Amino acid sequence: MTKKILKVRREAICALMIIITYVSTTLYVSPYNNAVNAVAYYYGSKGGVVSQIQSKLKAWYYYSGSVDGVYGYGTFTAVKKFQAKNGLKVDGVVGDSTLQALGIYSAKASSTGNSNSSSNQDVTLLSRLINGEARGEPYEGQVAVGAVILNRTRDPRFPSTIAGVIYQPGAFTAIVDGQIHANMEQNSIRAARDALNGWDPSGGAIYYFNPSTATSAWIWSRPLIKVIGSHRFCK
């Protein structure tokens, strides 16, 4: 066998080993890279999103520490309690599912410019608000609650986004008492979609309340548009 043939064989074997090594490394490392690139916050994380996580958990009495933007042990245990209460994987890591349940959307998700992603987030959040505020009400009344949220986004007196309206301090009982995380009913999702598609049974209302549970005298001063189920819808 000539030296030239041996050299060619050696080069072929080396090339084959490089290919095998590359494929093996890719198969092993890719899942890891995907995990690293996923949006997640965990013990030791710091920053503005951690502060948002702490604020939400504190408002719902899962967390009693300071809102300092540092994901310490207190935040870790509070997250686990929240996850257990809301049927999420209990691991103390705030990934996409837990962020969504908290009503927090990461900068990575919002910076993609993906309108479908934004639309899906709006449906999910609006569904949860309807579910927390109006489950058990007539279907028309559930859609009307969703319509009130959307009407507020178009009113300069309120935040311009669905999340901003829903999480405006003290605006909705379901946020205060945690009912926004109650078990989801299918009607709530349908109602959110109908409201987002333009159905407004409220007649343009920007307020609603249940007269049997309302504690604010001011809300009674709002001009009544209509009554649907247990709710009065007002201007």
Q: Write out pLDDT tens, residues 112-127.
A: 344 454 567 889 999 9
90 shares its domain with 119: no
In a domain, 22, yes or no: no
User: Contacts from 119-123 at CB under 8 Å and sequence distance 24+?
Assistant: 119/196, 121/163, 122/162, 122/196, 123/189, 123/192, 123/193, 123/196
Residue 16 confidence (pLDDT) = 58
Domain that holds residue 227: 115-234
Q: State yes or no: pLDDT of 37 exceeds 90.
A: no
In a domain, 62, yes or no: yes
Residue 39 confidence (pLDDT) = 64
Residue 59 confidence (pLDDT) = 83
CB 225, CB 205: distance < 8 Å: yes
Residue 222 confidence (pLDDT) = 95
97 shares its domain with 123: no
DSSP state of 42: -
Q: Write out pLDDT tens, residues 147-197.
A: 999 999 999 999 888 988 998 888 999 998 899 989 999 999 999 999 998
In a domain, 200, yes or no: yes
DSSP state of 218: G
Q: What is the CATH number of the domain that holds 62?
A: 1.10.101.10
224 shares its domain with 119: yes
Give 49: exposed, middle or buried? Use CB within 10 Å, 0-12, 13-18, 19+.
buried
159 shares its domain with 81: no
- Unique residue bearing structure tokens 């309120």: 158
130 shares its domain with 175: yes
99 shares its domain with 119: no
Q: Write out pLDDT tens, residues 48-65.
A: 788 889 988 998 899 999
161 shares its domain with 210: yes
Q: State yes or no: pLDDT of 202 exceeds 50.
A: yes
In a domain, 185, yes or no: yes
144 shares its domain with 185: yes
- Unique residue bearing structure tokens 């967390």: 63
For the whole model, what pTM was predicted?
Answer: 0.53
Q: What is the CATH number of the domain that holds 144?
A: 1.10.10.2520
In a domain, 6, yes or no: no
DSSP code per residue over 102-142: HT---HHHHTT--HHHHHHHHHHHHHHHHHHHHTTS-HHHH
In a domain, 7, yes or no: no
In a domain, 215, yes or no: yes
In a domain, 3, yes or no: no
Tally of domains in the chain: 2
96 shares its domain with 158: no
86 shares its domain with 187: no
Nearest by Cα to 128 from 90, 174, 195: 174
Cα(79)–Cα(147) distance, integer angstroms: 32
Mean residue pLDDT of the chain comes to 81
3-state secondary structure of 108: helix
